[in-house]
Chain A
Amino acid sequence: MTTILLGPQRFTVTVTSAVRSLDVDGPVAMINAGWEEREDDDAELVKKLDGRGRNLRLYNRLVDVMTKDAVFAKGALTFRDRQEELRKFYGVRLQAAVDAAHAVLHRSSPHGLKTAAFTGAVQGVREVDRWYADQLKELYREMDQQVSVRDSSVIGWHRGEVEAILRDSVAAVIAGGHVGFLLQSLRMFSLELPEELPVVAWSAGAMALTERVVLFHDFTPQQVTAAECHDHGLARLPGIIALPYARRRLRLDDPERLAVLARRFPSKQLVLLDDGTILRFPSGQTGAPAGARVVTQLGAVETVGDRVGTAAGEGR
């Protein structure tokens, strides 16, 4: 069934027309856990969904679980601390590796060795990404051994409610916000969006539908300025890396920087989701549709042509 990715909704609202275009009649499940404690301030969103929105309230449920299930909360907090530590080490290693790739690009190469050196440097970055992914997987495995979402009656109760709302819904929307809390909420309630359920998502919501959630902000004063792999999303669009607010968050006029980013993920399409973007993925299509703006392996921004459903990385 259809998946639609949208640009940010703050200034250019397209969610109303996108949901109407699905041509479905009935309640629409809303996921806005990325709004955190403002999750219940959803009246405007409900209105944009023609009054059909039904909030899953995943963030509120997450807080409820952390309050009522002490055993699970302890395990989850331990996991969070360990993941935070892992991210710090990942950041240190990643920034060094990315800096090395940029340094290679900036050197002259009178004897033509730069290409090989750059390829090796990018492989170094990928290796750091891979190491982080492996370590994170291990952390999840260890956490599952200690406290499992399946063992918590509180989580089970909430999951029952969430599944009931989803069963009655004809579509789902996933709003933007804090992608970390959004993913955490989805994971806590083992949320699965049935393939046949149409989904409209934007910003952090769009990121959550992909397989690899990549955090990025070229203009932030952070010590780690390189884009960071964060976690797994729902993998509904496994071939896509979603880059919301690309114009405001990426140095789109710096092809070298973009090339390093794109070459870290050679099997994925890096899709820019700026204001006004509407990308429709019919059932079964995983590649970016025509009209999508993507970052090529050479660091250019191109618009996908009419070859609907271009395979990720194909021809790039």
Chain B
Amino acid sequence: MSPRRLAINRLRDRVPLDVAAIDRFVTRYGSPIVEGERATFLWRGEADGVSVRHRVVGLPDPLPMKRLPETDLFAVTTVLPEGSRVEYQIEVRRGETYERFDDPLNPRLAHSPLGSSSVCAAVGYRVPDWVQPDPEARPGRLLEEVVRSKALRRDQPVQVYLPARFIEAIRYPLLIVHDGGDYLGYTAMKTVLDNLIHRLDVAPLVVAFVPPRDRLKEYPNYAPHARFIARELVPWLSGRLPLRDTPEARCLMGSSFGGIASLSTAVRYPDLFGSLLLESASLVFTDIGFEHGGGPHFDPVVKFVNRYRAKPTRPVDRIAMTCGVYEPLITPNRSMVPVFREAGMAVHYTEARDGHNWENWRDRLGELLSWLFPGPQKFVYE
């Protein structure tokens, strides 16, 4: 039995292809149409050119759509392996004018500090059920705090998560999250923590969410930032909360440049932290010369990573790492895994068919947090 033809090809075969038929097709399928390992993107309207814009390494970007003859329907079909999740937008050209926007035929959106994007989820992709609020999960609390920082010469806001059933008599591990506001906003990390702790997947822990002021300056191996985290924030938190006073109980976390901030802080203050959680860390390096292609903001990153690769150290015991296979950072991340391991650190590395985005980082939290802070599953037999 031959595989069923794609819906868009069945539409093409229809004669005549009138407006009513296209209306029915678009209403029925929306966009994108996911069929097996193929995704077909649609756009309707008058334009001189229409493309799908995305940042998937391996697929052409822009991905031009073709007009179905004598219609106002544009379409393109691309491969989409099982379990994939892709964020994209539609770009329309009229004359010399380009306009980019979310796919009007797709209600599914993802959000980030840069705005929204449409989401194409392949067969097999599921939003983890611990992302949604669980009425049975007792909520933790978020405290709004301000830490006076000499290192950064400012008052630094910090949001501190206390797990449900927090009591002073227990000593908790500490997780410090770079881009803290974004993690709370775009990965629903408070809900995720509430749920994972409730399910016994993750141990109750205290989490400090720290937003940057100028992340492109402060995150790539910036001494004042590291000093703030290590010499000001950790003592400030330890003085106010019942935290376990061992490196093993302290973890730094971040995505992208936040991953570099985590690693570089740990390298500057070895033995203060026991673990790192790095999501799509910007571990860009060069093996010869300095042409890294990342622009001037990446210069301090590349200097730092090159120096680390030349003389790898063991600033922590364990690293939980992830990267999307569709993002350019996949190669540097894969390359750093053996470097970290050879330096003597235990590395838990996982990849996803996803990109450099917050929902990817959200979806990985369950696996990575439970590896770093295993919950009391072994103790509970109901």
Contact = CB atoms under 8 A, between A and B. Distances in A.
Contacts of B306: none
Interface string B284-309: 00000000000000000000000000
A34 B374 CA distance: 19
B382 A180 contact: no
Given A8-B382, A207-B381, A221 B169 contact: no
A215 B171 contact: no
B165 interface: yes
A163 to B, nearest CB: 27
Contact of B171 (A73, A81, A180): A81
A230 B370 CA distance: 21
Contacts of A176: 381-382
A245 B200 CA distance: 16
B382 A204 contact: yes
Nearest to B246: A85
Contacts of B367: 221
A221 B201 CA distance: 8
Given A221-B371, A223-B371, A177 B377 contact: no
Interface string A206-233: 0100000001110011111000101000
B28 interface: no
B382 A203 contact: yes
A179 interface: yes
Contacts of A217: 377-378
A223 B368 CA distance: 11
A151 interface: no
A221 B374 contact: yes
Q: Taking chain A's interface residues, is the majority helix, strand, or loop, or is none over half, making it mixed?
A: mixed
A23 interface: no
A37 B374 CA distance: 21
Contacts, number: 57
Interface residues of B, number: 17
A178 B378 contact: no
Interface string B226-264: 000000000000000000000010000000000000000
A179 B381 contact: yes
Contacts of B171: 81
Interface residues of A, number: 29
A217 B380 CA distance: 10
A73 B169 contact: yes
Interface string B363-379: 00001001100101111
Nearest to B165: A37
Given A66-B169, A221-B367, A177 B378 contact: no
B374 A204 contact: no
Contacts of A177: 380-382
B382 to A, nearest CB: 4
Given A37-B165, A66-B169, A88-B248, A216 B378 contact: yes
Interface string A54-96: 0000000000001000000100010001000000100000000
A182 to B, nearest CB: 9
Contacts of A221: 201, 367, 370-371, 374
A10 B122 CA distance: 36
Nearest to B202: A221
A215 to B, nearest CB: 4
A81 B367 CA distance: 26
29 contacts: A8-B381, A8-B382, A10-B382, A34-B382, A37-B165, A81-B171, A88-B248, A177-B381, A178-B379, A180-B376, A203-B381, A203-B382, A204-B380, A204-B381, A215-B379, A216-B378, A217-B377, A217-B378, A220-B378, A221-B201, A221-B367, A221-B371, A221-B374, A222-B370, A222-B374, A223-B371, A228-B378, A230-B379, A245-B381
Please name the 10 residue pairs, one residue from A and one from B, whose CB atoms are nearest each other, closest first: A203-B381, A222-B374, A215-B378, A204-B381, A244-B381, A221-B370, A176-B382, A180-B379, A220-B377, A217-B378
Given A37-B165, A73-B169, 16 more contacts: A34-B380, A34-B382, A77-B169, A177-B382, A178-B376, A178-B379, A178-B380, A203-B381, A215-B378, A215-B379, A217-B377, A221-B370, A222-B374, A222-B378, A223-B371, A223-B374
